[in-house]
A and B are shown apart, each in its own frame.
Chain A
Amino acid sequence: MAGSGKAHLGGDDALLRVEDLVVEFPTNTKGHKVHAVTGISLDVRPGETLGLVGESGCGKSTTGRAILQLPQPTGGMVRFDGTDITKLDGEELRQVRTDMQMIFQDPISSLNPRRSVLDIVMEPLKIWNIGTPEEQLQKAKDVLRTVGIDADLVGDRKPSQFSGGQCQRICVARALVLDPKLIICDEPVSALDVSVQAQVLNLLEDLKAKYGLALIFIAHDLAVVKNISDRIVVMYLGKMCEVAKSDDLYARPMHPYTNALLRAIPVPDPTVRPNSENRIAGEIPSPVSPPSGCRFRTRCPAVTEVCAQDEPQLRAMGDGHFVACHHPIAV
């Protein structure tokens, strides 16, 4: 578990290709670093939804941000649409970023509370000076309508006058207004009620079909990620555990961590009693001094000596299924 490797990367048709991404942060103690992301490789094809899943602290949000160069990764390559964007300087990077947008977890705090909804959605067009003011207004209204908000009725309202789900729709509209190729969604539905979560997930699916968008969908709930993604990368403590097509990952999880994540999801069926077998105990270790070898070994039910010594590499298990584990679950 929790290993490295690039075996799962596809050909050159990828919209985004990330290799050996490393993100480290300094700590107050000299000589110590937070190893947030340690050697993540992934690719996203045009029109594909890639899910990134793992517990808090596994580095999934940091990976999403580092792809956008927010902050610049410590190491590794991020090639977007043929360009290695880690090599770009300020202005070039700004240009590229119009094609990559982000949606955050808390929709209310990511909208300026003092500005009207139309203003918020028009802002990117104003910054890039795209079209006349009338065209900008029209474009913003169109995009808001696509996400289900009637700008003629409520366009001059402030974010506080909308519910959480509606605010998330406004965030989606703002991300869409520049016609990006890739949207990184960082836990976009975690703060929402299940009923509203379903609305936003359906909306993202519709937009993806309509605009041919590629999405990176980051979340800790594997059921949500499975619903929306084509492929899923399971992360643990800054490393990759397993990469597979969504349905495969559920049908035959090979990594003990993936299995534990799947088993932890409550089943909305009272005839299925919660089963505390397969439960992983404890919590994710500190990324300041991650365990040697496989990073999951301290909580793994299948751990042996080799796990402490050698870091497992991602290896192909057939049909686009990859796992980084010395003792994968037999199919």
Chain B
Amino acid sequence: MSLSSNGRETPLLEIQNVKTHFRTKRGVVRAVDGVSLTLERGRTLGVVGESGSGKSILVRSIMGLLPMRNIVREGSVRFDGTELLHLSRNDMRDYWGKEMAIIFQDPMTALNPVMKVGKQITEGLIRSLGMSKSDAFANAEKLMADVGIPEPTRRLNEYPHQLSGGMRQRVMIAVALAAGPRLLFADEPTTALDVTVQAQILDLLAAQQRDRNMSMILVTHDLGVVAGRSDDIAVMYAGRIVEKAPTRSLFANMKMPYTEALLRSIPRLDQPSHTRLQSISGLPPNLLVQSVGCRFAARCPYAVERCRVEEPALVESDVPGHFYACHYPVGSIEWQNAQDRLTTSSVVAGGH
């Protein structure tokens, strides 16, 4: 375990001002545009945002999984004190599997359809850990049991199409866990699954994380999924982090109108049926255009002139560790005034 100069343990992952831009025919797409994050050992970070917010590109960029051509990656990605951003693909292979691994959303397309499950799990064991084939298979069987697959011996000899969606996701998890990574990325791991199976898979990830003392980055569009299962949450919008806080603080004291809107758009079981949901009007901004002002301003009900011209910086609130990027955060006097204006105007407009 490495220590930094001031004697504190270095965080497992520390990324600073990471940018990932794609050069396309139509111009530069700023998919990730200056993201900084820290993740301690054994902790879970939830990364939340809509489609196109850059959350998946961020995790692929951290892992170095993106193609090399026509992509600009800048900033710093330090894993256990070592800078990874400029490592070649070949050098990154030492990290994949053993140090960090990823679970994707769709297990059918992420698994090789013409390779038996057993081979897909043992591949990493043989390659990264140098195990013999028979040791690897014995290990794979144990892994399959760990991730809750009944009859692991038989299943090792099956192809992905012979398994259900939930079972395939369990296999994906076994593949990811095989070489004992210290950091696990889960990119929408349950979005393609039924709620009952989603709950099983999230339970499984939590248990495995505890047993192995792994850190985890859980990427999702659903605040409900991360609420009970993360230590910290970072909310992304249009390639940037707009709010970042310990999970409880985030929910108790939302600062960013975007986070608030995301939460209110979730249908809740404790509300009576036909409760009108608060949707976020409009669309996320075009990432081809260099933005001016707050990126959420065009969809924010509280936005005023300043929001459209001046981009808010990510600042710390009075709760330590709770950061937000908003000129007029939820609860501020200006926000209250905007709220009053909205209420008045909607009464005039016929209470729509």
Contact = CB atoms under 8 A, between A and B. Distances in A.
Interface of A: 55-56, 163-164, 193-199, 201-202, 205, 220-224, 226-230, 246-247, 250, 260-274, 276, 279-281, 283
B269 A266 contact: no
Given A195-B280, A266-B224, A279-B200, A223 B194 contact: no
Interface of B: 50-51, 164-167, 194-200, 202-203, 206, 221-225, 227-229, 247-248, 250-251, 261-263, 265-281, 283
B222 A222 contact: no
Given A194-B266, A264-B195, A269 B227 contact: yes
Nearest to B190: A266
A252 to B, nearest CB: 13
A195 B167 CA distance: 29
A270 B274 CA distance: 25
Given A246-B273, A266-B227, A198 B196 contact: no
Contacts of A229: 273
Given A56-B194, A194-B222, A268 B227 contact: yes
Contacts of A226: 267, 269, 273
B227 to A, nearest CB: 5
Given A201-B277, A269-B227, A270-B247, A195 B262 contact: yes
Contact of A270 (B202, B251, B265, B277): B251
A195 B273 contact: no
A250 B206 CA distance: 27
B278 A198 contact: yes
Contacts of A194: 221-223, 262, 265-266
A198 B265 contact: yes
A197 B262 CA distance: 11
Contacts of A222: 195, 269
Contacts of B270: 250
Contact of B267 (A164, A196, A201): A201
A280 B195 CA distance: 11
Given A197-B265, A201-B267, A272-B228, A283 B276 contact: no
Given A227-B275, A270-B227, A270-B248, A265 B195 contact: yes
Contacts of A260: 196
Given A222-B269, A267-B224, A279-B203, 4 more contacts: A266-B227, A268-B224, A268-B251, A283-B164
A283 B277 CA distance: 32
Query: Which of the listed residues A195, A227, A262 has the most CB atoms from chain B within 10 Å of its own CB?
Result: A195
B273 A228 contact: yes
A305 to B, nearest CB: 24
A195 B261 contact: yes
Query: Which of the listed residues B164, B278, B279, B281 has the most CB atoms from chain A within 10 Å of its own CB?
Result: B279
Contacts of B277: 198, 201-202, 227
A224 to B, nearest CB: 5
A300 B161 CA distance: 27
A220 B266 CA distance: 15
A195 B279 contact: yes
Contacts of B248: 270-271
Nearest to A220: B194
A274 B199 contact: yes
7 contacts: A194-B262, A195-B280, A201-B277, A223-B268, A264-B199, A280-B196, A283-B167
Contact of A193 (B221, B225, B273, B274): B221
Contacts of A276: 199, 203
A279 B224 contact: no
A269 B217 CA distance: 19
B279 A261 contact: no
A198 B227 contact: no
B196 A269 contact: no
Contacts of A223: 266-269
Contacts of B273: 226-230, 246-247
Nearest to B270: A250
A268 B268 contact: yes
A157 to B, nearest CB: 14
B265 A195 contact: yes
B209 to A, nearest CB: 13
Contacts of A271: 248, 251
B165 A56 contact: yes
Contacts of A265: 195, 224, 269
B154 to A, nearest CB: 16
Contacts of A246: 273
B272 A261 contact: no
Contacts of A283: 164, 166-167, 197
A226 B229 CA distance: 24
A266 B191 CA distance: 12
A262 B199 CA distance: 11
Contacts of A199: 279-281
A195 B199 contact: no
B228 A267 contact: yes
Contacts of B194: 55-56, 220
A228 B166 CA distance: 27
A197 to B, nearest CB: 7
Nearest to B223: A268
A-B interface, 10 closest residue pairs, ranked by CB to CB distance from nearest: A198-B279, A246-B273, A198-B265, A198-B277, A227-B267, A266-B224, A268-B224, A199-B279, A264-B199, A195-B280
B50 to A, nearest CB: 5
A208 to B, nearest CB: 10
B279 A205 contact: no
